[in-house]
Amino acid sequence: MPDEAETAEYASPPCFMHELSPDYCTVRSSSDAWSDVSRWRQAERKRLVDQRLAIDAEERQLRSGRIAALLDLTIGKYSGRIVGTYWPFRGEPDLRNWGIRVIERGGRIALPVVIQKSWPLEYRIWTPGDPLERGVWNILVPSRGPAVQPDIVIAPVVGFDEEHYRLGYGGGFFDRTLAIMPKKPLTIGVGYAQSRLPTIYPQPHDIPMDVVVTD
């Protein structure tokens, strides 16, 4: 989901974090360090989103199918479980058909809804035929229904690293949502293998995924 906090324009170019000296954190204030990380993340988001938007529709469908098959292997049983998934946006893997198969196998699908800036997401149950409406950033969301707690959360990634930290759009919605859940769900990041980074320079508020599934 697009950034509300990190996508402001900056006059200076992004900092190339890999070129920083080992004593970087000791010679910079925490606010300066976060400013550099934020600019670097902003530049990486643009690069990675542009890269995935360049994938043609047929290839994206093939890659989404591979991700769906690996999700089945990772999750296993769906019956009686609520799977928090998403409506695809800006070239994200399209898992809508996979979600229907989850329902056919006894699971339930919940879609995230942005209630307000800087608030956690609200997940609502959705089945084919239920009404949808345009939410924030014009993403389709369930137009009604009570909030539910998913057993599994599928989180699309813009980028990800070896420690399973997820680079999202910068709004912090998924991290904020996971932080307040009374029972920790199985968290699975999904994205394209080309989005792998050595590190996203995780901050204290970042929550790693349990696993990241790619094409």
Please state the rounded mean pLDDT for residues 54-76. Answer: 97
**DSSP structure string for 131-171:** -EEE-GGG-EEESS--EE--SEEEEE-SEE-TT--EE-SSS
Q: What CA–CA distance (Å, rounded) separates 20 from 160? A: 20
Decide if 177 is inside a domain. yes
Residue 65 has pLDDT above 70, yes or no: yes
Query: What local confidence, expressed as pLDDT, does residue 1 receive?
Result: 52
pLDDT in tens, 98-113: 999 999 999 999 999 9
Query: What local confidence, expressed as pLDDT, does residue 136 receive?
Result: 81
Number of domains forming the structure of the chain: 1
Residue 95 has pLDDT above 50, yes or no: yes
Q: What CA–CA distance (Å, rounded) separates 174 from 159? A: 14
Decide if 207 is inside a domain. yes
Q: Does residue 199 come out as left (phi exceeding 0), alpha (psi in the -120 to 50 range) or beta?
A: beta
Judged by average pLDDT, the poorest of 73-82, 124-133, 192-201 is 124-133
Decide if 194 is inside a domain. yes
Decide if 191 is inside a domain. yes
Decide if 201 is inside a domain. yes
- Return the CATH number at 193: 3.40.50.10420
Neighbouring C-beta atoms of residue 20, cutoff 10 Å: 16
Q: What percent of the chain has pLDDT over 90?
A: 71
Decide if 197 is inside a domain. yes
Q: What CA–CA distance (Å, rounded) separates 213 from 67? A: 6
pTM of the model: 0.84
pLDDT in tens, 157-179: 999 999 999 999 988 999 999 99
Residue 137: which domain range? Answer: 57-214
Residue 114 main-chain phi, psi, to 5 deg: -80, 120
Query: What local confidence, expressed as pLDDT, does residue 140 receive?
Result: 87
Decide if 116 is inside a domain. yes
Query: What local confidence, expressed as pLDDT, does residue 29 receive?
Result: 54
Decide if 162 is inside a domain. yes
Residue 25 has pLDDT above 90, yes or no: no
